[in-house]
Structure 1
């Protein structure tokens, strides 16, 4: 289908742009067309109240994992990985729980400190002076990609977010989170459904008896 081809094209552009030097991106001046593209991306993200999709994740070592993503803004997310990957990520409110089923460990952290901010924030702000700074924009037929960093700590890494752009309508295609060491984790979305009902029970984490608690430093 044409939409699938656009999503694959957007994902390919996303992966290539994830390796753009942050320093080079910081020095690139954004023009009026870039700012208009950023405004479109911001408006699209703020129009999405719920999201459901299948995903494929590829880490820096080339290891792949698949699963199901559910989001209900603000603050609620569930990354449920397919076996044999033992990981479950659940966010409700301000806390993100990373649970390893094999190790029976639950690590808790603030989702605002993770690359998931653009999915979970009540309102996404990409304008100058906001908490996140867009340092690069890539536009091509059928594709829109932006790169953003934490305005207060750009050295902590960056997020490269990709959209399929068809007939003037954006659709989230995926993202690459690049950490402070330059290690990328790529997530590509498929069968995405936005603004459809999502049961709040999806975001409840029932911690198993005997699970070890860890607090992210």
Structure 2
């Protein structure tokens, strides 16, 4: 998928990055922007791979910032992706299309899960999945409440998980020129995660080795 006061940064960050595998988002849809669904359609039809930098900010229910981190991401359909989080919260989330590995460098621990169990109705599946994404998400045009300028001129789409037991509300995706620019997520505890992408490359040639994970020596492996 406790953040009002941080007592264990590593534990908190682990929970936040794991939420990528089961991401929700609070969507405040007020007006319908006709280009949103067109953007997401083009994204799934014409985008086979993406490489970008990202800036992630997490705030608690009261709107107080509790975590901020930057990193890089890569994805290749179907279901291959890599998220590298930089210091002070070094972690990696890597999927080779069959298994998902979450490596916490500070804890020296790797959690491995089967993609069919790890992805489901998750943001990771939403970005790296294929055209059949509407089987697990209900997609619709959306705008952020109170935003008459459609925030940074982005076309917004709401993704509502069809699995009622997912523990999430909605995922909000922002597109510009049919490229993913931003994600907004809110978990069941009211924690808001905002991910802004930059230097987005569409359909770059990605090395398949980027999606393979080799367990470092001395690191514990935990299966779920």
Give your verdict on TM over 0.5. Answer: yes
Q: How far off is 1:204 after superposition?
A: 1.0
Residue number among 125, 131, 140 corresponding to 2:136 in the alignment: 131
Cα distance change, pair 214–177 in 1 and its aligned pair in 2 (3 A): farther
Moved over 4 A (4+): 18-21
Structure 2 unaligned spans of 5+ = 1-24, 144-148
- Note if contact 2:37-2:140 (Cα within 8 Å) is conserved in structure 1: no
Map of 1:6 onto structure 2: none
SS at match of 2:139: strand
SS at match of 2:215: coil
For 1:113-192, what aligned pairs fall within 5 Å after superposition?
113-126=121-134, 130-134=135-139, 137-138=142-143, 140=150, 142-153=153-164, 156-157=167-168, 158-164=170-176, 169-192=177-200
Q: How far off is 1:67 after superposition?
A: 0.9
SS at match of 1:112: coil
Map of 1:90 onto structure 2: 94
> Aligned residue pairs: how many?
184
Cα distance change, pair 143–115 in 1 and its aligned pair in 2 (3 A): same
- Note if contact 2:102-2:111 (Cα within 8 Å) is conserved in structure 1: yes
SS at match of 2:133: coil
Map of 1:73 onto structure 2: 77
- Note if contact 1:136-1:148 (Cα within 8 Å) is conserved in structure 2: no
RMSD of Structure 2 on Structure 1 (CA): 2.6
Cα distance change, pair 19–151 in 1 and its aligned pair in 2 (3 A): closer
**Bigger strand share:** 1
1:56-89: per-residue Cα shift (whole Å, max 9, x none)? 0112352111111111111111111222222111
Q: Is residue 2:63 matched to residue 1:64?
A: no
SS at match of 1:119: helix
Q: Provide the TM-score with structure 2 as the length reference.
A: 0.72
Map of 1:214 onto structure 2: 222
- Note if contact 2:57-2:195 (Cα within 8 Å) is conserved in structure 1: yes
Residue number among 185, 199, 204 corresponding to 1:196 in the alignment: 204
Map of 1:49 onto structure 2: 48
Q: Provide the TM-score with structure 1 as the length reference.
A: 0.74
Structure 1 unaligned spans of 5+ = 1-17
